[in-house]
Amino acid sequence: MNTQKWSKASIVAIAIILLWLKTYIAYKTSFDIKIENWRQEIILFINPLSFLMFILGISLFLKEKSQKRYILITSFIVSAILFANVVFYRFFNDFLTIPVLFQTSNMSDLGSSVTELINFSDLLYFVDFIILAVLIKVKPAFMGYREYSKVDRRAFFLVAIAIAFFNLGMAETERPQLLTRTFDREMLVKNIGTYNYHLYDAFLQSKSSAQRAMADGSELADIDNYVRANYLPPNEDMFGVAKGKNVILISMESTQSFVINQTVNGQEITPFLNDFIKDSYYFDNFYHQTGQGKTSDSEFLVENSLYPLSRGAVFFTHSGNEYTATPEILNDKGYFTASLHANNKSFWNRDIMYQSLGYQRFYSLPDYDVNEENSVGWGMKDVDFFQQSVEHLKAMPKPFYAKFITLTNHFPFELGEEDSFIEPYTSNSKTLNNYFPTVRYTDEALKLFVQKLKDEGLYDDSIIIIYGDHYGISENHNKAMGEYLGKEITPFESTQLQRVPLIIHVPGQKGKTISTVSGQIDLKPTILHLLGMDTKNNIDFGSDLFSKNRLDFAVLRDGSFITKDHVFTRETCYDKATGEPTDRAACEPYFENAKNELEFSDKIIYGDLLRFYGESNDSKESFQKTGE
C-alpha cells in the first residue's frame, strides 16, 4: 500500500509545479525583464521555486483535508500577488512594494485607469488554481494523499534550502552586492524572484520603521557637510529679480518634453507653450526624478529639494516627518501659501502631508463646482479648474505662493470630442494615440489661464513656473514611441524620455533656453533665490538653476544619472553624442555623488533627521528664516 502511495502524484508537487511554470511564463510574457546570458535565464527560471517549496511545503505537516484547503488558499493568494504585480507593471513598469499597498485609499479614485489595465484574458493567471480545485474535487486515480515522515519533510526542506542558496549564489555572481544595492527592483526580481523580493521588501519596511526610532542628530553631520560642500551661491544677476512677486507653480500631469515644439498629424501639440517659452526661461534638459509616488513625489522634490523614496510614496509613508519645505519658509516671509487641486483632499494623503509642508490652505474638491459636464477621466477638466481657480487667487492675501496640480492629461488619457483640438495619433498603442489630444487640451487650458491672469491684473505681479511632474508614456509603449520619434527606444533613449518641461516666466525678463542638466530637486533653491532668499543654511540636494559654474548632473530615483556628456542607466554608460554604450570609466567619477545623493536623502526621510536640525544650528526658527 505504501508503494502505491509513493507512486501517486502528490497534490503538493502538482501545486508547486503549476505555480512555478506559471510564474516563469509571466516573467517572459508580462514583464520586460532583460536577459543578457544563459546564466541569467537559469536564475530567472529557478528563482520562484525555493519560495514555492517553502510556502506550500507547510502543507506536509497537515492532514489530508486541511492540506488540500491550505494548498488551494495559498495558491490563490500567490496567484493574486503575481497578478497584482502584472497589473501594476502594465502602467508603471515597476513592481509592487509594501508602502504602495498603504496607498489603497487612492483606489477609489482610480476608476477607468484600473479598468483599462485589466483584460478578460487575465483569468489565465488563475488557471492553475482552477486546475487544482478540479483535481481536488474529482480525485483522479493518478493523484493521492500520503502522510510524510520527519525524514521526508527534512529532505524536502533541505532541497528547498539548497535551491535557495544555489539561486542566491548564482545571482550574487551575476550581480555583486545585489541585496545592498536596491534601487533597481527589476534587478531584484530577476535574481531572487517576485515572491522572495516581496519578503525582502517586508524586511526593508521593518528596517525603515526601526531607523526612525534609532536615529539621532549625529547622523546629520556628514549630510550637512556634503550639502554645504556642494552649495552654489546664487547668480547675482538673477538673485531677487522676483522679490515680492506672487509665485504661481503649475504641475503639468504626465507631460514629457518630447511634445514641446513638435507636431502630430501636421498640427502643433503645444502651440501655447511653444510661444510662452519665447518670453520665458526654458530648461530643455530638465528631468523628473520621481519614484512610485509619481505626482506626489514630484511635489515632494519641488517643495523639499529631497529625493523621494525608492519604495512607496513619502506622502504616505512619512507624512508625519519634520520638513523645511518652501511653503513653510515662505510663510515666515509674509507669503500666503496654498495648493489648488480639484480632487479629494485625501488623495495621496495630501491633507495630512500639506500640514507637514506648511501650506496654509488647500483648495480641494469642495472648493470647486464640479459636475458631469466639466469632468472627464480622473475629474475636473483643466480649463474649468484654472478658470475657477483664478477666483481663489483674487481672494488670496498678497503676495501668495500657489501651486496648481492639473488632472486631464492623466492615464488613460480620456477626452470628449468637444475638447479635442487635434486628432489622435495612429499607432498600435491606444495610450500613445490618445496622449497627444490630452496634452493639447492642457496646453489650451494654460493659454486661457494666462489670459485670465492678464485680465484680472495678476500676470505682471507673478512669476509663473510650469513643469512636468513625471512621464506619461511608459516603456510598455516603446514600439509606438519609436515609430513616432523615428528611432529605436534603447535604454539610453528611454532615459532621455524622462525629460519634462520646465518653464520659468519672470516679468520683465527676456526669454532664453538653458540646456544645463537638471532635475526637479533644483526647483526649491531656484525659486527661493529668485525671491531674494539665500539657501546656504538649508539642507537641499538641489542647486539654483541660474547659478554660475553649475555641474551638469541629475540623479534619477532608480540610480541612473545624467551628466553633460554621458548617461548611466541599467549598469551601462552611454555617450550622449552617439547614444551608444561607451567605456564605463567615463561615468565612474559620478558614481559616488549619485550614491551619496540618494542615500543621504533616504537617511533624512527614514530617520526623520530634520527634527534634529535646530539642535545643531541654534534653533529651527533661524533655519526657517534664512535670508532675512
290 is in an annotated binding site: no
Strand residues in 266-406 grouped as ranges (E): 267-268, 281-283, 286-287, 336-340, 361-363, 375-376, 379-380, 400-405
Query: 331-336: long-range contacts (C-beta < 8 A, 24 or more apart)?
Result: 331/358, 331/360, 332/624, 332/625, 333/531, 333/533, 333/627, 333/628, 334/399, 335/247, 335/399, 335/400, 335/401, 336/360, 336/361, 336/396, 336/397, 336/398, 336/399, 336/400, 336/401
Q: List the alpha helices (DSSP H) in 93-147.
A: 98-101, 107-110, 112-117, 127-138
Marked catalytic residue, from 255, 295, 406, 569: 295
Radius of gyration (Cα) for the chain, nearest Å? 27
Using DSSP, state whether 461 is helix, strand or coil.
helix
Is residue 317 flagged as an active site residue? no
Helices H / strands E in the chain, number of each: 26, 20
Question: Beta strand 566-569 with 561-563: parallel, antiparallel or unpaired?
Answer: antiparallel
Peptide bond into 525 cis (omega under 30): no
With CA atoms as reference, report the closest residue to 556 among 189, 298, 272, 211: 298
Which element (helix H / strand E) includes 514? strand 512-514
Do 555 and 594 touch, CB atoms closer than 8 A? yes
- How far apart CA 6 and CA 15 sit, in angstroms, is 17
How far is residue 253's CA from residue 233's CA, in Å, rounded to a whole number? 31
Closest CA to 330 of 302, 358, 356: 358
Q: List the one residue out of 600, 611, 604, 607 whose CA is nearest residue 210.
A: 607
Check whether 253 is labelled as a binding-site residue.
yes
DSSP letter, residue 608: T
470 is in an annotated binding site: yes
59-90 b/e (C-beta count within 10 Å ≥ 16 → b): bbebeeeebbebbbebbeebbeebbebbbbbb
295 is in an annotated binding site: yes
Report which residue type is found at 480: A
Find the DSSP H helices in 419-549.
430-455, 478-485, 491-496, 523-530
Q: Is 268 helix (H, G, I), strand (E, B) or coil?
A: strand
Q: How far apart are CA 51 and CA 24, in angstroms?
A: 13
- Residue in 101, 524, 42 with CA at minimum distance from that of residue 312: 101
Which residues form the catalytic set? 295
Which residues does the annotation place in the binding site for Mn(2+)? 253, 295, 469-470
Which residues does the annotation place in the binding site? 253, 295, 410, 469-470
Which residues does the annotation place in the binding site for substrate? 410
